[in-house]
Amino acid sequence: MGAPLLSFEGFTLELATASGWLRVLDGIDLRVGEGESLALVGESGSGKTLCAQSVTRLLPLHHARCTSGAVRLSGVDVFKAGERDLRRLRGAVAGHVFQEPAAALNPAMRIGDQVLEALRLHRPSEARHAEAVRWLARVGIPAPEDRARQFPHELSGGLQQRATLAIALAPRPRLLVADEPTTALDVTVQAQVLELLAQARAELGMAILLVTHNLGVVEGIADRVAVLYAGQVVEHGPTADVLARPLHPYTRALVASVPRLGQATDRLGALPGSVPAPGAWPTGCRFQPRCPQARASCGEASPPWNAARLAHGARCPFATEEAAT
Ligand SMILES: Nc1ncnc2c1ncn2[C@@H]1O[C@H](COP(=O)(O)OP(=O)(O)OP(=O)(O)O)[C@@H](O)[C@H]1O
Ligand SMILES: [Mg+2]
C-alpha cells in the first residue's frame, strides 16, 4: 500500500501563549486515502479546528510547533516544509472551507475574480471568466453570470458559502477540508451544502475531511468517523459502526445527543460539564471526570488504545464490556 494522501502520525501540537508553549493536540493518529471521507467530531474545544488547520499548516510557525510525530500531506511533512511548498499544497492539493463564509471571502473583490484567483488565472479573459461562472453554476448559484460580478456583501450567507465552495473546488484539490461548513447557515441551507459536498466528492473523486460537532450529519457523507476529546482521538471506526455500536462512553453520549426529528436538543445527553481546556487536562483518562462509567483506576494512567473491533477502536479499556451492557 502506498502512503495515504493525508496522515497524522502521533502528531502533537503546541501553541505559544502568554504563559509559554501549551500542548493542544496530543498524539493524533489519522489517515485519509485518495477519495476517502473522514469526519472529525467532538464538542466545542476538543481540537477539531486545530487538526483541520494543521493539514496545510495554516498556523504561523512562530505561534505553533509540532513537538512529536508529523502531519504528511501528499508525502510532504507540513511542519517541516517551507512556505513555497505549502503554498503549492494549499488550494491545489488541499482546499479549505470554513465556518464563516464572510470571513473567508475577500470583501473588496468580485466573486468571479476570487474564483479566477483560486485558479491562479490572474489575467482575466472572456474564456477564463466563463470558467469561473461554470464553477459558480456547479455549486448551485442561480444567475451565476450576475453573481460573478457581485461583491461578497451582496450575497446571502448560503450563497456566500456556495461561493467559498466554488473557490475551494475550482483548482480540483485532491482533498477538501471543510470545518463546520454549515454551522452558520439555516437548517434548509445546511442540508443543501452537505449535499453539494457529497456530490462534489462523487464528481471530482476528491477526499474529504469534514469537521462537525454534529454526529447527525456524518451519515451519508463520511466513510469513517474520528471522535476527538481534549486533544486526543478517543474513538475511530467506520461511520455506520460508530453510530450503531459506539465503544467509548463519550461517543455513546454524543450519539445519544443527536437531535431526533421533532425533538430539539443540543445538550450532550445527560452529561454535565464540558471539554477540559488544554493545560487543564486531568491525569489518566481525560473524560473520566464526566464519565458515567468511571472506575477508580481511570484517573491513574492514560488509557491505551483498545482495538476492540475490526477497524474500530477506542481509548477506553472497558469499551467492549460497557458497550455490551
Ligand atoms: N491560539 C490559541 N491559543 C491557546 N489556546 C488555543 C488557541 N487556539 C485554540 N486553543 C484552544 O485549543 C482547544 C481546541 O481548539 P479548537 O479550535 O481546535 O476546538 P474545536 O474542536 O474546533 O471547537 P469548536 O467546536 O468550538 O470550533 C480549545 O480549548 C481552544 O481554546
Ligand atoms: Mg472549531
* pLDDT at position 270 over 70: no
Residue 224 neighbours by CB distance under 10 Å:
21
Residue 102 CB-density burial (10 A; 0-12 exposed, 13-18 middle, 19+ buried)? middle
pLDDT per residue as tens digits for the range 211-227: 998 888 898 899 999 99
What is the whole-number distance in angstroms between the Cα of residue 90 and the centre of ligand 2?
19
**Using CA positions, which residue lies closest to atom 30 of ligand 1?**
45
Which three cell numbers, joined as nine digits, stand for 298?
A: 481511570
Of residues 125 and 273, more confidence is placed in 273
**Using CA positions, which residue lies closest to atom 8 of ligand 1?**
50
What is the whole-number distance in angstroms between the Cα of residue 46 and the centre of ligand 1?
7
Q: Phi first, then psi: give them for residue 52, nearest 5 degrees.
A: -60, -40
CA of 53, closest atom in ligand 1: 18
**Using CA positions, which residue lies closest to atom 14 of ligand 1?**
47
Highest mean pLDDT among 59-63, 70-74, 182-186: 70-74
Average pLDDT value for residue range 131-143: 92
CA of 63, closest atom in ligand 1: 1
Closest ligand relative to 41 C-alpha: 1
pLDDT per residue as tens digits for the range 154-180: 999 999 999 999 999 999 999 999 999
Average pLDDT value for residue range 105-129: 85
Region of residue 252 (phi > 0: left; psi between -120 and 50: alpha; otherwise: beta): alpha
What is the whole-number distance in angstroms between the Cα of residue 115 and the centre of ligand 1?
30
Among 15, 50, 61, name the best residue to mutate to test ligand 1's pocket (greatest count of ligand atoms within 8 A of Cβ): 50
Q: What confidence score (pLDDT) does residue 39 get?
A: 97
- Cα separation, 51 vs 61, whole angstroms: 15
Closest ligand relative to 43 C-alpha: 1
What is the whole-number distance in angstroms between the Cα of residue 271 and the centre of ligand 2?
21
Region of residue 256 (phi > 0: left; psi between -120 and 50: alpha; otherwise: beta): alpha
**Using CA positions, which residue lies closest to atom 18 of ligand 1?**
47
Q: What confidence score (pLDDT) does residue 110 get?
A: 96
Pocket of ligand 1 (CB under 6 A): 15, 17, 22, 24, 42, 44-50, 213, 277-278
Q: What confidence score (pLDDT) does residue 3 get?
A: 82
Q: What confidence score (pLDDT) does residue 60 get?
A: 87
